Amino acid sequence: MLNATHLRGVFPAIPTPVNADDTINVPAAKALIAYLLKQGIDGIVPLGGTGEYGALARAERIRMCKLTVEAVEGRVPVIPGVLDPGFHDALQAGNEFADAGADALMVLTPYYTTPTQAGIREYFLRYADASPLPVMIYEIPYRTRIAIAPEVLHELSRHENIIGMKACNTDMYHFLRVVAGVDDSFAVFSGEDTLLPVHLAAGARGGIVVTASLLPTAWRKVYELASEGRTKESMELHRRLIPLMNLAFAETNPGPMKSVMDLIGVNAPEVLDPLVAPADGLQAALRAELKPLLKEFEGIA
């Protein structure tokens, strides 16, 4: 059973390659996973926001999870996102992903209903009690409009079936307060490409990184430098990736990233409604920024 000791390093949050009919593009998905494994990533997170969870049909979500598990063959953990707003749908998704072979679940803060902190606490405790797999909490308040109080996270971190969190709260003081009080059996992961070396220096054990789907080796180097205490060098490398991040997130993720993934052998630029293809100028600029980075870090000419 996966636990916090297994949660270290760089886990790409991967896009879901799809066909024009909104079904999984199986060859492209397999090519993406093979590329990431070859470059030495530490885990894979399919079906989060980057994976367009909400736009995929439920059957396609299960299919993508199963495909990822089969392609990984146990080499690294597979932790799919569970982004349903209601308890019963979220638990059904967790059971389906468990049946598909996932190692843990990344469960989003319940949204739209705007729960109190007591409601958030009860939701995650109830989910963890019922879940067939270990749970990572997914906190992303700029999407859900709900931040989880550090004190609530401290309590949740002591539940035996809650093993960590993806922290996307960009408030650094909130992050510092979370890390200061969580249990040792709970791994805080950075969920922000833009803050990874800072989060690592402040106590994160790894990162769930969107643009690591394009540049896994570069992001693993950012992680390794920070883990060795070479924070200045980690931040210097991260600084070189800022133009890439600015372009990748200039329109809603994963549209820009999908438009250039043919450069790594994954030709599946389609996005799901309500997303649309990014502007031509943005695609061209991102392509121009990415090419030399791929040559330098990933050995792709």
57 and 92 Cβ atoms separated by less than 8 Å: no
- Terminal Cα distance for the chain, rounded: 40
Which DSSP symbol is given to 27? H
- Residue 267 has which token pair? 């030709």
φ/ψ bin of 40: left (φ > 0), alpha (ψ from -120 to 50), beta (otherwise): left
Q: Would the annotation count 170 as a binding residue?
A: no
Q: Which two tokens stand for residue 16?
A: 């879901």
The answer on whether 208 is annotated among ligand-binding residues is yes
Choosing from 66, 166, 223, 258, which is the catalytic residue? Answer: 166
Give the angle subtended at the CA of 140 by the CAs of 229 and 242, to the nearest 5°: 50
CA distance 193 to 246: 11
Q: Which two tokens stand for residue 275?
A: 């997303």
b vs e for 86-117, b when ≥16 Cβ sit within 10 Å of the residue's Cβ? eeeebbebbebbbebebbbbbbbbbbeeeeee
Please confirm, yes or no, whether 221 is among the known catalytic residues.
no
Q: Which residue among 53, 138, 223, 258 is the active-site one?
A: 138
Catalytic site residue 166? yes
Residue whose structure tokens are 């990822």: 68
Contact between 113 and 85 under an 8 Å Cβ cutoff? The reply is yes
- Point out the residues that are catalytic: 138, 166
Q: Binding site residues for pyruvate, as ranges?
A: 50, 208
Q: Binding site residues, as ranges?
A: 50, 208
